[in-house]
Structure 1
Amino acid sequence: MSSAPTCAQVLMRLLREYQVDKVFGIPGVHTIELYRGLPGSDLMHITPRHEQGAAFMADGYARASGKPGVCFLITGPGLTNAATAMAQAYSDSIPMLVISAVNRRKDLGMGRGRLHELPRQSDISRGFCIWQHTLTQAEQLPEVMARAFQQLQSSRPGPVHIEIPIDLFPAPMPGQLPDYRAAPSAMAAAASTTAIGIATAWLQSAERPVILLGGGAQAAGTAATRVAEKIAAPVFLSLAAKGVVDERHPLCGGANLSFDCVRERIEKADVVLAVGTELSETDRNLERDNYVFSGKLIRIDIDPAQLVCNANPDLAICADATESLQQLGDVLVQREESATAQATKEVAQLLKDCRTEWWEGSEDRFPWVEALRYALPDNGILVTDSTQLAYNTNHALPLYHPRSHITCTTGYGTLGFALPAAIGAKLSGDREVIALIGDGGLMFTLGELAVAVEQQLSLPILVWNNCGYGEIRDFMDAAEVPQEGVNLRTPDFVALAKSFGAEGCRIDTPDQLATAVSEALQRNTPTLIEITAP
């Protein structure tokens, strides 16, 4: 008769039951017994070069796949190293399961100076997790995992942190061997008949409706397009929703919420349908106050707190975005073709007007945006960091499919995101991925290039090299502040890439970009493409 499985072994089994196939983590002395459960589990383990990279990879994996990304972290510094990436995921509502060690149960809160000890480790993650739990008994694990995945899959997502005392990893599961099956996810919440009736009446009678989609509508693109077509409404996307509606659609105004012409159109709408969006300042422009809605505002969100975030609605619907839009699409009546033609004409003019509002230096970068659109496969994924060219691709590079735009330029806005997030995105499936990062941001997580080499990823990494923190430099110039701390000595990135075992090249003009990317996508190793910024 076989011995009872350990807590670590059951953990691996439960992860597989919840359809987890990859985990990102760095083993440590406190997690050796956790890793004893890994062989034979059918879980693929990817080892980053820093725990921040582990969480960024899990983030990119989750955004590209729609499934939770999973991290294994050691006690203390493992968690604090990953904290920045977890906070980015929290800000952008990305499902991430972080499993960390914590000191032995007998040592918790005792302050004995144990290795990696933090007085209250759980308090650190609580500020940027949607749920946090400290396991105290091995037999609690299946229930704790069920609660974790309900949080990840059935509500507004974000990081979930489970910390497991190191003396529990090797602990046998007591009693008879139970059936460790995954608990089913809750059914998506539909809107009430009354709420749908009110929303339908307002939208049907509106003469100038507008639809705003945020990251919470990531899976609702088809349903949103159907509603837009029925009521002849322009659709505008937050950066987190870029690609949710095909930006080639004549009613799609893209991710252009920060431009005055779009803002004016939204404020003059007689009905605004805002779905899964915070109406955040990183979308509407940091220098502008929130919208002043002159018409009725309908908000749909799975999170009740978000229904009043930044603007109070006239109708608040706490429900799943896709379910609610499907309900609306089923009852709305198709408008006349003349209304659609007028809305299409209006969107086309707004897109032209946005171009006239581009900030200084953008026109020099526009050829690079066009070249990148040509180089990116139709179903490809663009992963961007906080770098000048990315701010232009946010608005001017159209994307055609959901989960095609992965960026840190919203919300928390940390640097160094794009390289590890692109690795996670590439590992999530078969879609082509291109990373875009600045020279300053790349230095934050450069070591993760080794992971892309180890995994033999055909990953083009575009490095926009302006020899410093160009965006901040521009802000300093505009504010007439002397340039301090923004002009950097940059390494020879091409030589550095080759030292990792990657390929590397340097380009100076946009017409070289498509060839460089095409060649990179044919290799079974990453290619760093350094762009000399104009």
Structure 2
Amino acid sequence: MVTRPLGAQISHMLKARGVDTVFGIPGVHNVELYRGIEEAGITHVLARHEQGAGFMADGYARATGKAGVAYVITGPGLCNIMTPMGQAYSDSVPVLVVSSCLERKDRAIGRGRLHEMRDQEAAAATVCDWSVTAPDAAAAYRLIDKAFAEFASARKRPKHIQVPIDVLGARAVAAPPVPARPRRPVPHATDVARAAAMLMAAKRPIFVFGGGAVEGYLSARRVVKASGAAVFTTYAGRGIIGPDCPFHFGANLSRPDSAAFMAEADLVLCIGTELSEVDLWRDHLGQSCPMIRVDIDPHALADDHPAALPVAGDAAAFLDLLDTALEGHVPATTWTHDHISSARARFHAATDAERPGIVPICVAMMQALPKETMFFSDMTQIAYVAKEVCDMDRPAHWHHPYGFGTLGYALPAAIGGKVGVEAAPVVAIIGDYGFHYTMQELGVAVELGLSIPIILWDNGKLKEIEDCMVRAQIAPNAVIARNPDFCKLAEAFGARSAAPKSLAEFQEALRAALKADGPTLIHITPGITA
């Protein structure tokens, strides 16, 4: 029987399970993972920092719907990727991190070995679904298949598998054949029937669609039309309902005034959302009527937002079944288009007043880019405005670090997304301070020749934090950092750059960047003119 070092067998196993790309950085501890990559037919993307590798794997997963995979070394490599793991955990992204760890004879002994940590497995477990050590080849294979089985059937969250250095280098037989994978649980027919009856009896129903409902967006659109319901989406649910829906409040759930509309409802249906703090920015949704909640994660059905009808199961399957149950129903809604469109206008005006001057930039950006553009945004004011005012006509095309809220996400995530979708347009939106976190990954985009427009919003400070300090009556401090000449910096990496002074020039820079044979940094400031 043919054997290979386990590190090589792992790459062959991943290839057999549909993995075509791995993001990572080789080191002396995980070098055996790199022995079989090319032979297995896997493309490896060399990040400049393990944080970048993790965000690339995240972006790849969000863009493709497949698992993002990263290889990192013991100790600092794993520590560096823990921030992306935490982001993937909060945003339900399927990321598999494979790391090395100390040899079996050295673990927990404290011999002062290279890259030694007191408890590497436990450290990673704080930011992922599970973190487990594979003591031998058979265990490594079982854990990899366990990860893919859970990606297919449960809430998608990152996993960490660590393999001792000596085990990675030991010869092993090939992994077993690809097993059958379980499907996601389908909601019980009784629950669907009860939900349909409650919806058909309602006069002012409201749906709230979250990121967990993305795969059921076609059924969601039919259900909304058949029921005459009004709709909010969370930021992660943008595009599930198209902008042509007459009763669509948009992604304005976090607007304080949205609670008043919830109070007008006689039924609220929350599909695929945990109604987290960053979805609402208040403690309560605002309704006094019954609530139906549908979620694949039972934890979400037992939180601070109790439902009259909690439904455990896949949101897309629920929407398909509900669509069938509503066939022939004539809605008796009392919602009106004027009522909702005027509310949206007020929401947008409030957004513009809070962060003035950004809405026109967002409008110009959307006008210049193709409808199928995929966005990766960072924790920056231009993204906060865009998430509320830029309508999406399709789901899963605007990706943001919602829950964990880390800076530096957009650039490496856009690189991973572009690697995944190849010719499709991908745009990164990042602030000047956030760019400092992962700017080195610009070299990866240049190296791979990725035509990514990188919109760099430069207001010269941590403006959101400064505003927070002012609201708290704290004299602003530690909010201004010296910036480089960003255009020269981009050019030093081998990227293109542009510094448009008007919105028309901005639009032209975007169009040109999409046609370039590498990334283009588009530097804009609050001084950009109409």
Query: TM class, shorter-chain normalised?
Result: over 0.9
Q: What residue in structure 2 maps to residue 490 of structure 1?
A: 483
After TM superposition, give the deviation of residue 140 of structure 1 in Å. 2.5
Whether 1:406 aligns to 2:406 is no
Deviation at 1:473, TM superposition (A): 1.0
Letter in 1 for 2:435: L
- Tell whether the 8 Å contact from 1:254 to 1:398 is kept in structure 2 after alignment: yes
Cα shift at 1:518: 0.3
1:345 and 1:323 mapped to 2: Cα distance? 32
Matched, 1:330 2:329: no
Aligned to 1:77: 76
Give the CA deviation at 1:63: 0.9
**Structure 1: distance between partners of 2:263 and 2:431:** 35
| 1:393-432 equivalent positions in 2, closer than 5 A | 393-408=386-401, 410-429=402-421, 430-432=423-425
**What does 1:450-469 correspond to in 2, within 5 Å?**
450-469=443-462
Structure 2 equivalent of residue 170 of structure 1: 169
3-state SS in 2 of match to 1:58: helix
For 2:47 and 2:294, the matched residues in 1 are separated by 38
What is the identity, as a one-letter code, of the residue corresponding to 1:496? L
3-state SS of paired residue (1:466)? coil
SS in 1 for 2:206: strand
Residues 327-381 of structure 1: CA distance to partner in whole angstroms, max 9, x if unpaired? 11101144547749x4444332321221232263534111101011112210111
State the alpha-carbon separation in 2 of the partners of residues 468 and 348 from structure 1: 35
1:512 pairs with 487, 505, 515, which one? Answer: 505
Equivalent-residue separation in structure 2 for 1:248 and 1:332 (angstroms): 21
Task: Give yes or no for contact 2:140–2:163 (8 Å, CA) kept in 1.
Answer: no
Partner of 2:28: 29
Matched, 1:237 2:233: yes
The 1-side partners of 2:425 and 2:354 are apart by 29
CA distance in 2: counterparts of 1:21 and 1:163, whole angstroms: 21
Q: Is 1:247 aligned to residue 243 of structure 2?
A: yes
In 1, are the aligned partners of 2:238 and 2:392 still within 8 Å (CA)?
Answer: yes
Deviation of the 1:106 alpha carbon: 1.1
Residue equivalent to 1:212:
208
Give the structure 2 partner of residue 372 of structure 1.
365
- Residues in 2 aligned to 1:94 and 1:212: alpha-carbon distance in whole angstroms: 20
- Structure 2 CA distance, aligned partners of 1:400 and 1:459? 21
2 CA distance for matches of 1:310 and 1:92? 19
Quote the residue 2:285 is aligned against: 291
**Does the alignment pair 1:96 with 2:95?**
yes
Name the structure 2 match of 1:480: 473
Deviation of the 1:148 alpha carbon: 1.1
Are the aligned partners of 1:75 and 1:117 in contact in 2 as well (CA < 8 Å)?
A: yes
Corresponding residue for residue 66 of structure 1: 65
Structure 2 partner of 1:158: 157
Matched to 1:317, the amino acid is V
| SS of corresponding position for 1:357 | helix
- In structure 2, the residue matched to 1:15 is 14
Percent identity reads 38
Mapped partners of 2:34, 2:438: distance in 1 = 25
TM-score scaled by structure 1? Answer: 0.95
Match of 1:271 among 264, 267, 278: 267
Aligned amino acid, residue 32 of structure 1: V
Deviation of the 1:249 alpha carbon: 3.0
- Secondary structure of the residue aligned to 1:98 is strand
Aligned partners of 1:369 and 1:144: how far apart in 2? 44
In structure 2, distance between residues paired with 1:480 and 1:16: 56
2:312 and 2:350 map into 1 onto residues whose CA distance is 36
> Of 502, 509, 518, which residue of structure 2 is paired with 1:525?
518
Q: Distance in 2 between matches of 1:267 and 1:131?
A: 39
Identify the residue that residue 348 of structure 1 maps to in structure 2.
341
Secondary structure of 2:428's aligned partner: strand
Moved more, 132-141 or 516-525: 132-141
The answer to whether 1:281 aligns with 2:281 is no
User: Cα distance, 1:411 vs. partner?
Assistant: 1.0
Unaligned 5+ residue runs, structure 1?
Answer: none
Aligned partner letter, 1:217? A
Query: Aligned equivalents of 2:246 and 2:42: distance in 1?
Result: 43
CA deviation map 1:463-492 (0-9, x unaligned): 000001011111122222112110121110
Residue in 1 that maps onto 2:86: 87
Letter in 2 for 1:242: R
Which of 165, 171, 177 is the equivalent residue of 1:181?
177
Query: Hey, what does 1:228 align to over in structure 2?
Result: 224
Q: What does residue 294 of structure 2 align with?
A: 300
CA RMSD of aligned residues (A): 1.6
Helix, strand or coil at the partner of 2:345: helix
Is the Cα contact below 8 Å between 2:296 and 2:314 reproduced in 1? yes
Letter in 2 for 1:411: G
- Change beyond 3 A, Cα 1:258–1:289: same
Which residue, out of 309, 313, 335, partners 2:307? 313
Query: Aligned partners of 1:160 and 1:108: how far apart in 2?
Result: 21
Distance 2:341 2:328 in 1: 21
Instruction: Find the counterpart in structure 2 of residue 501 from structure 1.
Output: 494
TM-score (norm 2): 0.96
Task: Specify every segment of 5 or more residues in structure 2 that has no aligned partner in the other structure, as ranges.
Answer: none
Deviations 1:243-277 (A, max 9, x none): 22223333332211012332211232111110111
Q: Which region of structure 1 is more displaced relative to structure 2, 198-207 or 262-271? A: 262-271
Match of 1:193 in 2: 189
Q: Deviations over 1:377-401 (max 9, x none)?
A: 1011111101111111010011111
Amino acid at match of 1:393: A
| d(CA) in 2 for partners of 1:79, 1:399 | 36
Aligned length: 526
How many angstroms apart in 2 are the aligned matches of 1:116 and 1:337? 63
Structure-1 separation of matches of 2:135 and 2:341: 59
Specify the SS of the correspondent of 1:173: strand
- 1:119-134 equivalent positions in 2, closer than 5 A: 119-134=118-133
Can you list the C-alpha shifts for 1:125-161, whole angstroms capped at 9, x where unaligned? 1111112221011123322211111122210111100
Q: Distance in 2 between matches of 1:139 and 1:322?
A: 35
Q: 2:303, 2:63 → 1: CA distance? A: 26
Once residues 405 and 328 of structure 2 are traced to their aligned partners in structure 1, the CA distance between those partners, rounded to angstroms, is: 40
CA distance in 1, matches of 2:126, 2:494: 39
One-letter identity of the residue aligned with 1:196: V
- 3-state SS in 1 of match to 2:247: coil
CA distance in 2, matches of 1:500, 1:359: 35
Paired residue type of 1:163: Q
Is 2:97–2:158's contact at 8 Å kept on the other side of the alignment?
yes
Matched letter for residue 477 of structure 1: V
Task: Please give the alpha-carbon distance, in whole angstroms, between the structure 1 residues aligned to 2:15 and 2:247.
Answer: 41
Structure 1 CA distance for aligned equivalents of residues 336 and 184 of structure 2: 32
Between the aligned partners of 1:446 and 1:391, the Cα distance in structure 2 is: 21
Runs of 4+ in 1 over 6 A off after TM superposition: none
Shift of 1:402: 1.7
After TM superposition, list the pairs within 5 Å mapping 1:112-123 onto structure 2: 112-123=111-122
